[in-house]
Amino acid sequence: MAKQRFLEEIYEVAGQSIELPVPLNSPAIATFKLQIGRYLKLTEQRQQIEDAVDRLISHRDDYQRLRTLPGIDPIIALVIIAESGDLKRFCHYRQYLSFCGFNLSGSQSDKQLGYYRLSKRGNARLRYAFWLAATVAIRQRENTFRQKYERYIRATPHDPDIKRKARVAVAVKLARVAHALIKTGSDYRGYYEFGCET
């Protein structure tokens, strides 16, 4: 269903940028078919990788718990496990966020007021994995990660900088909830994160 909607969106955008319909033997249609063929091939390869990951580590409890989170597919779960090691070794979620590079660092000079931004001193692959998961989670219909994103951008929904910051906020929340699930040995339930520290 999502792939069908994706193709429909491409067609809608094309309708605004070029004259539609175009002849079936036109270069535009040939190029479109080529791109669709590549997209389908990549989708097939990704599915093969996901199936392989699932066969290899589906017996692990931490993998199963991560898979219950919105936006976390087999490949992202594998990256989180491989890069984090045992999440239970982090006594507090703040330690894990720091390990991921999601903690804030301050900057200040004599001429400029201080401001905070992500330190990015932690594991870049983990940050990217949670960023990807956040991107997927906010596209899903019902979960509090999407709600957090929508609350964040409500005042200025078309500001790209605010959207980027909102995605980072959702990625941080996903990392925090992932740590809580592994630490407590619980599966994600919708709105579970309201029980975690904020």
Residue bearing tokens 């605010």: 162
Indicate if 139 and 191 belong to the same structural domain: yes
Indicate if 119 and 181 belong to the same structural domain: yes
How sure is the predictor about 24, in pLDDT bands with cuts at 50, 70 and 90? confident
Indicate if 31 and 95 belong to the same structural domain: no
DSSP per-residue string spanning 60-102: -HHHHHHHTSTT--HHHHHHHHHHH--GGG-SSHHHHHHHHT-
Task: Quote the domain boundaries for residue 10.
Answer: 1-57
How many folded domains does the chain comprise?
2
Indicate if 41 and 64 belong to the same structural domain: no
Going by C-alpha positions, the residue among 190, 78, 183, 62 that lies closest to residue 126 is: 78
How sure is the predictor about 194, in pLDDT bands with cuts at 50, 70 and 90? very low
Of 14-28, 106-120, 138-152, 175-189, minimum mean pLDDT range: 106-120
Indicate if 26 and 69 belong to the same structural domain: no
Q: Residue 141: its pLDDT value, please?
A: 78
Neighbours of 90 (CB within 10 A): 19
Q: Choose one of 10, 26, 57: the last residue of a domain.
A: 57
Indicate if 81 and 35 belong to the same structural domain: no
In this prediction, residues 167-175 reach a mean pLDDT of 93
Indicate if 163 and 101 belong to the same structural domain: yes
